[in-house]
Amino acid sequence: MAVAIPVGFYGAAFGAASISAGLDLLQTIALSSILFSGASQFAIVGVIGSGGGAMAAIMASALLGIRNGFYALRMAPLLEVRGLRRLIAAHITIDEATAVALAQDQSNRDSVKKGFWFTGIGVFIFWNLFTVVGALSAATLEDPAKWGLDSAVPAAFLALLWPQLTTKRLRIIALLAMVMALALSPFVTAGLPIISVVAIALIAGWRK
C-alpha cells in the first residue's frame, strides 16, 4: 500500500501536466483510467503539449507500454486468471503491481497474488483520484521535484528490486541492464532504452 502514496502524488503531477498541455478534464481522466500507464500518459501529453502529431503520441505511448506486455507474460503463470478477472489483471499490469508481487516469497503463491491485486487496485485508485486533484489545481503542482517526488519514485522501485537480487549473478545482470539503458538513452527514442534490456534477459536466461 505504501507504493500508492508517491504514485498518487505523481498522478497529481500528471493531471497538472495534462491540463497545461491543452487536454480537458475528461480527456485527462480518460488517460488515467482507461490507458492507466504513467510513462505512456506523460509521453502522450508531452507530445501533444509540444505540438507533435497523433501518430508520434501513439507510438511513444506504445513503446513505453511494451514492458507491460512483458510483465503480463511473467505474471500469467503466477496469477492463473481467466475471463473477466484476466481482463482486469491485464489492465492493472504495471511496474508497481508486478514489482510488489515479485518481491514476495514466490513459493507462497497467495502472497504473490495478494501483492499484485492490492498494489494494482490501490495504485489505480490513488492514481485516478490524484489525477483529478492535479488537474483541478494545475498551476501549483507543476514542479514535483520541489517535493522530492522524482527522487522518491525511483527509490521505491529500487526498494522493490532489492529483495529480488538474491545472487551475485542477478546483481550483475541488473547492473548490466542499468548500464545498457543509460548508454542507449542519448541515441534512441524514449522507451526503447528500457525495453532493449530484454536482450540481456534473453542472453542470460538462455542457458543456466
Partner 1 sequence: MSDQRIWLTISASVVVMLAMRIFGYTLPAHLVSKERVLRITALIPIVLLAALIAVQTMTSDRELVIDHRFAGLVAGAIALYFKRSFLTVMVIAGATGAIFYNLL
Kindly state the smallest distance separating residue 28's Cβ from partner 1, in Å: 10
Least spacing, CB of residue 141 vs partner 1, in Å: 15
Q: Phi/psi zone of residue 190: left (φ > 0), alpha (ψ -120 to 50 degrees), beta?
A: beta
Q: What's the closest the beta carbon of residue 63 comes to partner 1, in angstroms?
A: 10
Burial bucket for residue 76 (CB in 10 Å: 0-12, 13-18, 19+): middle
Which residue shows C-alpha cell 513503446?
A: 63
The CB-of-44 to partner 1 minimum distance in angstroms stands at 6
CA distance 37 to 16: 16
At 52, list the grid cell: 507533435
- Measured from the CB atom, the residue of 136 and 173 that comes closer to partner 1 is 173
What's CA 144's distance to the chain center, in Å?
A: 17
CA distance 69 to 152: 25
